[in-house]
Amino acid sequence: MIRTAFILLISLCSAAAAQELIPYNAGKWGYAAPGGKVVIRPAYGYAEPFSEGLALVLSGGKYGFIDKKGKKVIAPRYQSAGSFSGGCAPVKSRGRWGCVDAAGKTVIPFDYDELLPFREGAAPAKKDGRWGLLLKDSRELRGGRYEEIYPVSEGLARVKVDGKYGYIDFSGKEVLPPVYAEAFPFSGGYATARLGDKYGFISRETLSLKFRDYISIGPYSEGLAHAQTLEGEGRCGYIDKEGKLVIPVSFAMCASFDGGLAPALKDFKGGWGYIDKNGQTVIDFKYEQAGGFRGGIARVTLGGRSFYIDQKGFEYKK
């Protein structure tokens, strides 16, 4: 009974996710249901995917938010904005950043030079020229001394100080000191980093790298990281955290897996497409640019025009 209820819950969640509206480009931006039926007529200069029931749109040179019926819940009045996450959206007004809730009420004052969306209860924020980690519950800025700071992943935020990267926790404590020449977000307990000219994987408990023989290794995501080898004119493939080659080195360029698919470039004369974790082509190599899949959709560019596609390759454009 419990197992049946669990399967039913998963099915309902999947069905709900499948009904999410998708940005649709017809010269102006609107929204379509899965399969392409336009639900919100194209009337915007730009549109983001829905997040927490609201979508960021550009109208008259200003940013605001609409609901799934196309109603302007928060009127376009901001210079810039980010999507909703954790119950609020970062917005910019009169040159300063703050955060508003779904009713448009200011929940974090406009005190910041820059403010990114909340993730895991914290958001990177810049004040007086330095970055720190803003905790939503306490509204306290932790750290506040970094050159750069990135969104939290698995409880840690990547920071940059004196040109080197490390990681801090929610208290602002440096869990992994800033000693790395390059570093990426944590995923599945591991992160890719470069120490000197050597790439490898680190964990929260590991300060040193398990070195791997590649000239570069990308972010570790969904159990794999794209890696470039010295052999074969610098071709790209995918490895696991042990350094085992899972997808052969057969691409000109690779990007991270997201939603089970990864953007890849067969050769520099062709376009970007998408492969699965077996290295098989799922979406043809034809795009000038290709982003990762989030919520089952990815943003691509073809003929100088940007639009979204789903994981079957259906293009949401006119």
Residue pLDDT, tens place only, 52-86: 999 999 999 999 999 999 999 999 999 999 999 99
Residue 176: other Cβ atoms inside 10 A? 24
Average pLDDT over the chain, rounded to an integer: 90
217: exposed, middle or buried (C-beta count within 10 Å: 0-12, 13-18, 19+)?
buried
State phi, psi for 17 to the nearest 5 degrees: -65, -35
Percentage with pLDDT > 90 across the chain: 79
Using the predicted structure, report yes or no on whether residue 229 has a pLDDT greater than 90.
Answer: no
pLDDT at residue 8 in the model: 29
pLDDT, residue 233, reads 63
Q: What is the pTM of this model?
A: 0.88
- Confidence band (pLDDT; 50, 70, 90) for 254? very high
Please, is 272 exposed, middle or buried when counting C-beta atoms within 10 Å of its C-beta (0-12, 13-18, 19+)?
buried
- % of the chain beyond a pLDDT of 70: 91
The structure tokens listed for 145 are 């001394």
Distances from the Cα of 116 to the Cα of 45, 46, 62, 206, 244, angstroms: 22, 19, 18, 28, 35
What pLDDT is stored for residue 210 in this prediction? 62
For 179-210, how does the pLDDT look when each residue is reduced to its tens digit (9 = 90+)?
Answer: 999 999 999 999 999 988 888 899 988 766 66
When pLDDT is averaged across residues 145-164 and rounded to a whole number, the result is 95
Question: Is residue 163 exposed (0-12), middle (13-18) or buried (19+ Cβ within 10 Å)?
Answer: exposed
Kind of pairing between the strands at 96-100 and 62-66: unpaired
